[in-house]
A and B are shown apart, each in its own frame.
Chain A
Amino acid sequence: MSDPDKLPLLPPARRSFLEKAAPWLFIAPSLLLLLAIGLYPMIYTVYNSLQNFVMGMGPPVFNGGTNYITAITSQNFQNSVLRTLVLLVITLPVELVLGMMIALALDSQHSPFLRRLLQICLVIPIAITPAVIGLLTQLMFNEQLGVINYLLGRIGISPVDWLGSPTSAFATVVCVQIWEWTPFVALVLSAALSTVPPEVDEAALLETERWWPRFSAIRLPFMLPGITAALVFQTAFTMKAFDMIYAIQKGGPGSATEVAIIHIERLAFRGFDIGVASAQSILMLVLSIVLARTYIRLFYREVDG
């Protein structure tokens, strides 16, 4: 992430009151708005997470950390968090590997037209409405009438009940998640790859004709900040994922694709248990912060640092 302390600054000019207040006047509107819609709700959620608060069951009552214990011991919540993590653990490496392959393909000198076309098309899965992706999934992955099973049949694979069984429904979500976000990872890695100075790459090319040492020893170190960014943001996007999975079959069949956000949404707005749902969303927040910090500690290196 870009360090604001490295930005060019205006020199201190006439230090009138207006001048001194200027930065705050510029920032104040957005700051107030974000305090109101970002910070206040978060504090409110922390507050709610400490209340016995079920909508329509009387006023909230403070109950210490009981909600957190309920949340952590809840089998359904545990399962939904586990599902989210499994989704993360399966999709992330696949997205990274496929994304890296696409980024390397974009970096090549061959087929300029195809590369240009791909660069443009990569944005489509990122921009397209996730709810519509869910709808399309329902249509295309239909067991009897879906085009996926038809195409698989053409290469001799018998029809799969993609949406019906718990395991295959989860696999479907995994596939669609990879389809939706690999292009993002590819674009980020492609940008990271372009930070390798061409002359450094060529210097390595003069020293060895083998691809792997050049990639791992020369290019990869330049790409680490980009790879970290891909990990951090892709993890955030996966933890936030709701729209697409909900649109496929609302977390079903049963609770086979009920990821954490869907579980919390259901608990809060179908089960009306605001207290426990709040505790769970705080736990998810903590989890995503811990993951982001871990990545940064493990992978983030400025190449000339």
Chain B
Amino acid sequence: MSPQTADAIKRFLHAAGIVVVLVMILFPLYWMVAGSLKTQPELFAIPPHWTWAPTLDAYREAIADSGVLRALGNSLIVTLSAVALGLVVGVPAAYGIARYSFRGRREIWFWYVTNWMLVPVVVLIPFYLTAARLHMINNPLTLIAVYQIFIIPLVVWLMVDQFRSVPVALEEAAQLDGLNRFQIFLRISLPLVTPGLAVSAVLSGIFAWNDLLYAFILTPGDEVRTAPTIALSYLGGYTIPWPKVMATSTLVTAPVIIGGIAIHKYVARGLTMGAVK
């Protein structure tokens, strides 16, 4: 076999391997979107219909069901608020850790990171008990608070990384110009790390949006339930309206998939707290 042939075979196997992985990843997604554009009989046709007249009926049904829109709205409010809170408290913390040496810095750092890996039930049970005592069950504020357990570690990690990349000389120059630490943080460093802010906001937003366990226990009420919970809510009935479930699922997952793709370069680094580049 000539070297060119061997090379061609290698190229082909490489491309074929990638295509297989791509199909594995994308087929369920296709099946979800396709299902949302089908009618119930069509969805369960055997053999499956690979071409059909798409219909938006399932979406009309899902939107007409006030629960779906309300749940999407609830998720949006909770996610945006939780991310905003996480950024407001997490970004200054990241700056403090990135730029100062003080006793306990290392310990605080590791403790922040371990919260990201915490088994959720450890927090969930006492949170539920406390919220119940304070009449905060079914209150979105409870979710916004509990999501900080993973948002703050994510934000702090990613932003420490960002602040490190701002040259210290720049801040020293600002210091010589007479700015104090807080002015330097707000006017010099913060504007330089806006791309990092966007990445940490999207990444933590994805996890807040996707959460089922906390929302399931802490905000089970019809008025306040979030998007992942509503997607599961159809399962109780005798016949499950699958096109409507798939339409709802598509609506629920669209924002996180778009957000994930937008920041795909940073996902590995973000989720492992910078253990990899």
A binds B: yes
Main secondary structure, interface of A, reads: helix
The number of residues on chain B lying at the interface, defined by a beta carbon within 8 Å of a beta carbon of chain A, is 111
B260-277 interface with A by 8 A CB criterion: 260-261, 263-264, 267-269, 271-277
Asked if B181 and A31 sit within 8 Å, CB to CB, the answer is: no
A23 contact set on B, CB distance < 8 A: 96, 99-100, 102, 105
Given contacts A41-B127, A191-B277, contact A132 B168 (CB under 8 A): no
Q: Which of A10, A110, A188, A281 contacts B121 (CB 8 A)?
A: A281
Asked if B185 and A26 sit within 8 Å, CB to CB, the answer is: yes
A1-42 interface with B by 8 A CB criterion: 1-2, 4-5, 7-11, 13, 18-19, 22-27, 29-31, 33-34, 36-38, 40-42
Given contacts A19-B181, A33-B89, A145-B44, contact A288 B119 (CB under 8 A): yes
A230 contact set on B, CB distance < 8 A: 272
A139 CA to B244 CA, complexed, in Å: 13
Asked if B212 and A285 sit within 8 Å, CB to CB, the answer is: no
Q: Which of B32, B124, B146, B232 contacts A136 (CB 8 A)?
A: B32
A284 contact set on B, CB distance < 8 A: 119, 121-122
Asked if A38 and B125 sit within 8 Å, CB to CB, the answer is: no
Asked if B100 and A5 sit within 8 Å, CB to CB, the answer is: no
A18 CA to B183 CA, complexed, in Å: 13
Asked if A220 is at the interface of the complex by the 8 Å CB criterion, the answer is no
Asked if B24 and A179 sit within 8 Å, CB to CB, the answer is: yes
Asked if B213 and A136 sit within 8 Å, CB to CB, the answer is: no
Asked if B18 and A136 sit within 8 Å, CB to CB, the answer is: no
Asked if B76 is at the interface of the complex by the 8 Å CB criterion, the answer is no
B271 contact set on A, CB distance < 8 A: 126, 184, 188, 233
B164 closest partner in A (C-beta) = A7
Asked if B17 is at the interface of the complex by the 8 Å CB criterion, the answer is yes
Asked if B64 is at the interface of the complex by the 8 Å CB criterion, the answer is no
A18 CA to B127 CA, complexed, in Å: 36
CB proximity of A188 to chain B, nearest CB, Å: 5
Asked if B119 and A37 sit within 8 Å, CB to CB, the answer is: no
Asked if B256 and A129 sit within 8 Å, CB to CB, the answer is: yes
B111-146 interface with A by 8 A CB criterion: 111-113, 115-130, 145-146
27 residue pairs bridging A and B, Cβ less than 8 Å apart: A1-B273, A9-B101, A10-B171, A22-B182, A23-B100, A26-B100, A30-B152, A34-B152, A41-B125, A110-B15, A114-B22, A115-B18, A123-B264, A124-B261, A126-B267, A127-B259, A127-B267, A129-B256, A132-B231, A132-B252, A191-B268, A232-B117, A246-B212, A246-B213, A268-B121, A268-B128, A288-B119
- Known pairs A130-B210, A285-B122. 15 more at Cβ < 8 A? A1-B113, A1-B275, A9-B168, A34-B111, A44-B126, A110-B14, A129-B212, A132-B252, A134-B232, A145-B46, A150-B48, A191-B269, A232-B117, A243-B228, A281-B125
Residues of B at the A interface (CB closer than 8 Å) are 10-11, 14-15, 17-19, 21-22, 24-26, 28-29, 31-32, 35, 44, 46-48, 88-90, 92-93, 95-102, 105-106, 108-113, 115-130, 145-146, 148-149, 152, 156, 160-161, 164, 168, 171-172, 175, 180-182, 185, 206, 209-213, 217, 227-229, 231-232, 235, 242, 245-246, 249, 252-253, 256-257, 259-261, 263-264, 267-269, 271-277
Residues of A at the B interface (CB closer than 8 Å) are 1-2, 4-5, 7-11, 13, 18-19, 22-27, 29-31, 33-34, 36-38, 40-42, 44-45, 48, 101-102, 105, 108, 110-111, 114-115, 117-136, 138-140, 144-145, 147, 150, 179, 183-184, 187-188, 190-192, 194-195, 225-226, 228-230, 232-233, 236, 239-240, 242-243, 246-247, 261, 264-265, 268-269, 274, 277-278, 281-282, 284-285, 288, 292
